[in-house]
Chain A
Amino acid sequence: AAAAPRPWRLFGAVCLLRLPRITQPLEKEEEEMAALMGQIELEKSQYSDHEIRKMEEEEQLRRRKENIYDDDEAPGKTVIMAQDLEDKWEQKLLQFKAAPRITDADKNNNRTSLNRRLDSNLMFLVKQKIGNQELWLLPQVEWQPGETLRSTAERAMATFLGDHVQAKILGNAPYGIYKYKFPRAIRTEDNVGAKVFFFKAFLQSSDLSQAELKEDYLWVTKDELGDYLKSEYLKKVNRFLLD
């Protein structure tokens, strides 16, 4: 309590990530290797029951064609052939339609939607007024004495997304820091600049209908961050973002 007050103002910011919902496409080497593994597995395997049944039935068909009066099998018996089963399964597969990997939001490039770019992380950006500028930033609020930085980050999330957002902040420690000095016009002895501490959080549920979104917001991937964030800020943010 007797320490001199530091001239830096503290802010807590949260980097809210929506984790990927589908797998990323395979690289060329990965695809080649997967094909090779399949081939080796086939070569080292033995015939399964289904395959043996199929081979035997083909033999029978062939013998029956060559030798029409073959009385081994009673001709009145209707047997389901393995080939018929395979055709039936193929039909069933073709009837099933899976959800598309590239969604409508992808095609419209609707950056406010959460359904875009399902195979990568999406980060939450808001437009905030700092000084007299409107900037795109990770949501941040000023730290108030009496709370830990993590609770500042949680407050930042609640301010911009409402109280009902389900997100898990990973740990008590900040992931990165962005330090800047105020422009000379407003710089004073005990108000030199600000330090913004970043926290990371994972979005648990994708249902944001209850969120009260007031300001302009965006959900962007790591490579699109450069379109919105300033270069110095971007450099510091990129340090703690994995792709």
Chain B
Amino acid sequence: SKSVFPHALCSFFFLSSWLPQTVPFRGSHWETSLLAFRASVPMRAQPKKKKKVDVKREQAQKDRMKKKIKKLEKAAPQLIPIEDFTPLLKYSDSNRLRSLPPLSFEETERRVLLMKKWCFFKQKQDKAEKKAIQDLVEAQQEALKELRLESEELYQAAIRRDEGLFPFERDGPNYTPPLPGYDPPEGKCVDITKVYTQ
């Protein structure tokens, strides 16, 4: 206690010498004493406000938002632009047009004749394909007929649908067979397609 006493004296002197300088700094009448700062100054506390005003304000805000949403929904949805169909402006420049000599008479004749030959070729190809499919179906029907003569239950098992057949996937034929031990060059693909939402 003997060691404490001079401390207390010192602190008291400090306080007494300090107070007159701080008295003019008491800005508002809420600052009754500096030591009891927190208790004296009231914070802008919510519970002080009336609850009805809040509820009304929030309700009004919600109604405004709902009205806006209804307006937007009523407007017809904008069509998503198809970027492939709208040519870019830079391609309507006239210096882009090719300058080629006009086609000669022989060339146009050759082209027309070639188109006719192609038409005939494709028609033959199509007919052959359809005939092949028809033959396949006939062969299968004959086989099923014979099977039915043999045993009814085998026939029923045969005409049941094959669940595991579809989806059927196959890698199509390429121009050259795959090269064994080929190391493709590495690269990263960044997708920059624009996605539109209605």
Contact = CB atoms under 8 A, between A and B. Distances in A.
Interface of A: 6, 8, 10, 19-23, 27, 29-30, 32-33, 36, 42-43, 45-47, 52, 97-101, 103, 115, 118-119, 148-150, 168, 170-177, 179, 195, 197-198, 202, 236, 239-240, 242
B165 interface: yes
Given A23-B174, A33-B114, A240-B136, A46 B91 contact: yes
Given A33-B118, A119-B173, A175-B140, A197 B132 contact: no
6 contacts: A21-B177, A98-B176, A101-B177, A173-B143, A174-B144, A242-B136
B175 A23 contact: yes
A149 B151 CA distance: 11
B162 interface: yes
A27 B180 CA distance: 29
A239 B139 contact: yes
Given A172-B162, A175-B136, 13 more contacts: A19-B173, A20-B173, A22-B173, A46-B91, A101-B175, A171-B165, A172-B161, A173-B143, A173-B158, A174-B140, A174-B144, A239-B136, A240-B140
Interface in B137-153: 138-140, 142-144, 146-147, 149-151
B138 to A, nearest CB: 8
A11 B118 CA distance: 46
B85 interface: no
Nearest first, the 9 A-B pairs at minimum CB distance are A177-B143, A46-B96, A239-B139, A148-B157, A98-B176, A174-B143, A99-B179, A29-B121, A173-B158
Contacts of A46: 91, 96-98
B157 A101 contact: no
A242 B170 contact: no
Given A20-B173, A195-B150, A148 B158 contact: yes
A26 to B, nearest CB: 11
B118 to A, nearest CB: 5
B178 interface: yes
Contacts of B4: none
Interface string B73-108: 000000000000000000100011110100000000
Nearest to A151: B157
A149 B157 contact: yes
B177 A36 contact: no
Contact of A173 (B114, B140, B170): B140
B154 interface: yes
Contacts of B151: 6
Given A10-B150, A99-B177, A47 B96 contact: yes
Contacts of B157: 148-150, 172
A239 B144 CA distance: 15
A14 to B, nearest CB: 14
B118 A22 contact: no
A149 B155 CA distance: 9
